[in-house]
Amino acid sequence: MPKLNRLPVRRFLKDESGLAAVEYGLLAAGIAVVLWTAVSGIGSSLNTIFGNVQNDLGGAAGGGDGG
């Protein structure tokens, strides 16, 4: 009788049908983290660049005293 109870457990431990889905899920999560990091870094750099351009153009477009 105990041998019959162990068969489903062995069958479950040998079953590898869901491993591919788990691996693909982990791969997708890793790619998402890399993309998130890259986009946030690029976004802050672009924000700084556009801020500098805005300041430079504001001074050239008549931001002075008319002198």
Q: How far apart are the first and last CA of the chain?
A: 101
Calpha distance 36→44 (Å, rounded)? 12
Instruction: State residue 26's pLDDT score.
Output: 94
Query: Tens of pLDDT along the chain (67 residues)?
Result: 455 677 777 887 787 777 788 899 999 999 999 999 999 889 888 889 999 999 989 866 655 554 4
Calpha distance 56→63 (Å, rounded)? 10
φ/ψ of 55, rounded to 5, equals -65, -40
